[in-house]
Amino acid sequence: EIRALIDRLERDRTLHKEEFIELLTRYTAEDFAYIREKARKTAQSIFGDKIYTRGLIEFSNYCRNDCYYCGIRRSNGEVDRYRLSKEDILKCCDIGYELGFRTYVLQGGEDGAFNDDIMTDLIVSIKEKHPDCAITLSAGELSYESYKRYFEAGADRYLLRHETANADHYAKLHPERLTLEARKKCLYDLKDIGYQVGTGFMVGSPYQTPENLAEDLLFIKEFQPEMIGIGPFLPHHQTPFADQEKGSYELTLLLIAILRLLIPNANIPSTTALGTINPRGREEGILSGANVVMPNLSPVDVRKNYELYDNKICTGDEAAECRMCLQGRMESIGYRLVNERGDFQPLI
């Protein structure tokens, strides 16, 4: 009985591995509606009708890594590489501030040109101009010392998806230099330093099994991230995974609902990949228990160069258009965007 599993997941905030596999592989349309409603109610009991917004600034598409799934991997010679200057980034922040954003997400490839001195100067400068804003970094695997310097400079949060919690699966998605062990060490370093930490995975990445997804859920339960980002895998035509099948839209929605019941107070975005796989994806993500949206604040002239996967939405829209678009989408389903930092709050 899948319904009994869902009830127990809600009550105990976890399940055993075999039970997660059962839920992921045997749910019916009625079970799907049932768990989504539970997840939605859980999110509403904590966040009400508020949706937190994060302004995404894609500051560099240079990357030293060569992940098989990613459009900006080092080996993709077709990408027009760019780096935003400090002035560009501060301008994005100013535009974002006027639009009501109180969190900036600085996301980029692993680009050595943004060294510790440059990054700390950038973080300090943003915080000087906008002391009431949170800074989230998403810049990959770095040393404990670098993470610590950025935190002391004023960074509040860090996003680093674990991608898959199974080491063999991890090796099928990444070249040898990258390991699950190193990824997990970074995550625990970030927690230790004091960041609010986000992790997550792609749904339907090549070679992923239901057992792998159960392992992802159990890793997340153990790690207790403050933020959880997931989205469907979408192929990029200039990568080794060009001909792989995309992930499942419905399974992504189911997993968002499971994650909401697993960690009720986590900040969970309804992601751009979800909005790319389905035109109503971001609304339906919220209706599965997500509570965050992350509109793009990057300058329009570089957006199309930050294509992690094909057909990414919003590459031609100004920041203000994305904000207005999402505001309308959220209001259409009974929610509202708020101008708050939206930090993680422990359950009382």
Binding ligand FES (rule: CB under 6 A), the pick from 139, 253, 314, 330 is 314
| For ligand FES, the closer CB: 174 or 282 | 282
Binding ligand 5AD (rule: CB under 6 A), the pick from 59, 233, 249, 335 is 233
Q: Is 332 annotated as a binding residue?
A: no
User: Burial level of 97, CB count in 10 A (0-12/13-18/19+)?
Assistant: middle
Kindly write out the interface string for residues 297-326 of this chain, putting x where it contacts ligand 5AD by CB under 6 A and - elsewhere. Answer: -----------xx-----------------
Q: Is 186 annotated as a binding residue?
A: no
Asked if residue 273 binds ligand 5AD (CB under 6 A), the reply is yes
Which three-class secondary structure state does DSSP give residue 197?
strand
User: Which residue's entry shows tokens 């009720």?
Assistant: 264
Report in angstroms how near the CB of residue 252 gets to ligand 5AD at its nearest: 10
User: Which residues neighbour 55 within 8 Å (Cβ) at sequence distance 6 or greater?
Assistant: 92, 93, 96, 99, 101, 103, 104, 105, 294, 295, 297, 319
Helix 180-193 with 210-223: angle, nearest 10 deg: 20
Asked if residue 333 binds ligand FES (CB under 6 A), the reply is no
Kindly write out the interface string for residues 284-303 of this chain, putting x where it contacts ligand FES by CB under 6 A and - elsewhere. Answer: -----------x--------
| For ligand FES, the closer CB: 79 or 274 | 274
**CB-CB contact of 294 with 272 (8 Å):** yes
User: Which residue's entry shows tokens 């993680």?
Assistant: 344
* Binding segment (CB under 6 A) for ligand FES, from list 249-257, 304-312, 317-325, 337-345: 317-325
DSSP state of 312: -
- CA-CA distance, 315 to 298, in Å (whole number)? 9
Report in angstroms how near the CB of residue 95 gets to ligand FES at its nearest: 14
Residue ranges for the known binding site are: 63, 67, 70, 138, 163, 183, 234
Residue ranges for the known binding site for (3R)-3-methyl-D-ornithine are: 138
